[in-house]
Amino acid sequence: MNSKKAIVRSGILGCLVIVLFFLPTDSLKAQSDSGYDIGFIPASISEIDVAFPLMEKWKISGQVDVQLVTQGAYTNSNPYAYVQRFVVRPWLIYSGFKHMKFYVGYARNKKYEVVEAGNPEILERRLILMGTYMQKMQKGSLFEQVRFETKFFDDKNGIKRTIPRLRARFGVNHYLNQRDNPIFKSHNISYYTEIMFKFAPKDYAKDHFDILRQSVYYSAGLTKNLTVLTGIIAQMQLRSSGTQFDVYYGPTVALKWNFQPKVRETFDMVSNDVD
Q: Considering the entire predicted model, what is its pTM? A: 0.85
Q: Is 193 within the bounds of a domain?
A: no
Query: In the prediction, which pLDDT does 244 show?
Result: 85
* Whole-number Cα distances in Å, 102 to 54, 60, 214: 15, 10, 23
Phi–psi pair at 14, nearest 5 degrees = -60, -40
Report yes or no: 272 and 213 within 8 Å, Cβ to Cβ: yes
Q: Is residue 212 part of a domain?
A: yes
Q: How many domains does the chain have?
A: 1
Q: Longest Cα pair distance anywhere in the chain, in angstroms?
A: 60
Asked whether residue 120 is assigned to any structural domain, the reply reads yes
Residue 48 lies in a domain: yes
- For residue 181, the model assigns a pLDDT of 66
> Does residue 125 sit within a domain?
yes
**Domain span holding position 137:** 2-188+205-258
For every one of its 275 residues, what pLDDT tens digit does the chain have, with 9 covering 90 and above?
A: 444 444 444 444 444 444 444 444 444 555 555 567 888 999 999 999 999 999 999 999 999 999 999 999 999 999 999 999 999 999 999 999 989 999 999 999 999 999 888 888 999 999 999 999 999 998 999 999 999 999 999 998 899 999 999 999 999 999 998 877 678 889 999 999 999 999 999 998 889 999 999 999 999 999 999 999 999 999 999 888 778 899 999 999 999 999 999 889 999 988 888 77
- DSSP state for residue 114 in the 8-state scheme: B
- Which whole-number Å values give the CA distances from 261 to 57, 119, 224, 237, 256, in the listed order? 17, 40, 5, 37, 11
CATH at 232: 2.40.160
The pLDDT of residue 8 is: 42
Centre a 10 Å sphere on the Cβ of residue 34 and count the other Cβ atoms it contains: 7
234 located within any domain:
yes
In a domain? residue 156: yes
Please report whether residue 163 resides in a domain: yes
